[in-house]
């Protein structure tokens, strides 16, 4: 990563839907290769899953508890130019909407997945790029859409 | 920083959607206001889909509180200092 690396934020939801973990690690690798310094925000469980999945820290960088992250965004202590928010529930969408509001200048990608993906994407009326699929276990289609959006 | 979970709260709605919480506040609280995400309440930055509805019912503040794995809860906490701080924003139902 260069000293001029751009800052990105992955906003992770509850880890109960399997595709999130795979796509988070995939995005970490992809954004790191594109010279982004990526911070992951999530609850303690999702951050622990990432740490265990990447013990030598090939992919993950800084991590932050999600409510602390929202506070840092509100205080402008953290100003990523790219935010990718994962949402598979109303709570996930609520955190995404909050981050979008607090990051009006950032490129904002909403990744809606799981069984309620289409409903959630419809409820997301804030400006963002949407990647939507009802995937629970198979991340392939979402990965393909991520590649298209971030190309 | 105060942790909302350490305050003496009453749960009005449990594992609700954000929209359900907003609708409840607007329909049931005698006074309420709308704030944006990041507004400070009980020393915490509020999380929510704007506009976030905060209600006042008697001596209590009624507000949504979202946890990533559990959804949004509508909580009621008695606190006249917070009500005084909200007062300039409040409007009657």
- How close A118 gets to chain B, by Cα (Å)? 16
Report, in this order, helix, strand and coil percent for chain A, each rounded to 5: 45, 20, 35
Residue B7's pLDDT is: 84
Residue A79's pLDDT is: 96
Q: How do the domains of chain A map onto residue ranges?
A: 6-150
Question: Which pLDDT tens digit goes with each residue over B5-27?
Answer: 778 899 999 999 999 999 999 99
Question: Which pLDDT tens digit goes with each residue over A116-137?
Answer: 999 999 999 999 999 999 999 9
Average pLDDT, integer, range A28-36: 96
Question: Which pLDDT tens digit goes with each residue over A37-68?
Answer: 999 999 999 999 999 999 999 999 999 999 99
Report, in this order, helix, strand and coil percent for chain B, each rounded to 5: 25, 45, 30
**CB of A41 within 8 A of CB of A65?**
yes
Numbered residues of chain A with Cβ closer than 8 Å to any chain B Cβ = 13-14, 16, 42-43, 45-46, 66-67, 70-71, 73-74, 89-95, 97-98, 101-102, 123
Q: Nearest-CA residue of chain A relative to B70?
A: A91
The one-character DSSP state at A5 is: P
Q: Are A73 and B68 inside 8 Å of each other by CB? A: no
User: What are the beta bridge partners of residue B3?
Assistant: none
pLDDT above 80 for B56: yes
Q: Which of A43, A67, A74 comes nearest B69 by C-beta?
A: A43
Q: Which of A16, A46, A98 comes nearest B48 by C-beta?
A: A98
This complex has an ipTM of 0.91
Q: Nearest-CA residue of chain B relative to A41?
A: B68
Q: Are A70 and B69 inside 8 Å of each other by CB? A: no
Q: Considering chain A, what is the average pLDDT of its residues?
A: 96
**What is residue A2's three-state secondary structure?**
coil
B2 in contact with chain A, both atoms CB, cutoff 8 A: no
pLDDT above 60 for B1: no
A6-150: CATH, from 1.20.140.150, 3.40.190.10, 3.40.50.10160, 3.30.1360.150: 3.40.50.10160
Question: Which pLDDT tens digit goes with each residue over A61-88?
Answer: 999 999 999 999 999 999 999 999 999 9
Confidence band, pLDDT 50/70/90 cuts, at residue A1: low
Confidence band, pLDDT 50/70/90 cuts, at residue B4: confident
* Residue predicted with more confidence, A8 or A5: A8
Residue from B18, B68, B69 to probe the interface with A (highest A Cβ count within 10 Å): B68
Q: Nearest-CA residue of chain B relative to A69?
A: B45
Q: Are A101 and B37 inside 8 Å of each other by CB? A: yes
Distance between CA atoms of residues A64 and A67, nearest Å: 9
pLDDT above 60 for A91: yes
Provide the percentage of residues in chain A whose pLDDT is more than 90.
97
Q: Nearest-CA residue of chain B relative to A92?
A: B68
């Amino acid at each position: 990563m260069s000293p001029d690396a751009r800052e990105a934020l992955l906003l992770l939801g509850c880890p109960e839907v399997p595709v999130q973990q795979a796509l988070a690690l995939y995005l970490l690798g992809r954004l790191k290769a594109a010279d982004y310094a990526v911070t992951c925000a999530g609850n303690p469980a999702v951050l622990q899953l990432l740490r265990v999945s990447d013990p030598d820290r090939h992919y993950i960088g800084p991590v932050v508890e999600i409510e602390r992250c929202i506070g840092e965004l509100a205080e402008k202590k953290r100003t990523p130019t790219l935010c990718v928010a994962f949402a598979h529930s109303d709570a996930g969408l609520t955190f995404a909407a909050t981050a979008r509001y607090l990051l009006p200048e950032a490129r904002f990608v909403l990744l809606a997945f799981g069984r309620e993906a289409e409903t959630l994407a419809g409820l997301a009326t804030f400006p963002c790029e949407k990647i939507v699929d009802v995937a629970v276990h198979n991340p392939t289609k979402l990965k393909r859409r991520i590649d298209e959006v971030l190309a | 920083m105060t942790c909302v979970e350490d305050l003496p709260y009453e749960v009005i709605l449990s594992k609700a959607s954000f929209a359900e919480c907003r609708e409840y506040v607007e329909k049931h609280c005698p006074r309420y206001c709308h704030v944006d995400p990041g507004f400070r309440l009980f020393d915490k930055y509020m999380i929510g889909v704007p506009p976030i509805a905060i209600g006042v019912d008697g001596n209590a503040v009624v507000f949504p509180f979202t946890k990533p794995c559990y959804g949004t809860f509508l909580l009621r906490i008695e606190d006249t200092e917070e009500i005084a701080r909200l007062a300039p924003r409040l409007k009657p139902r």
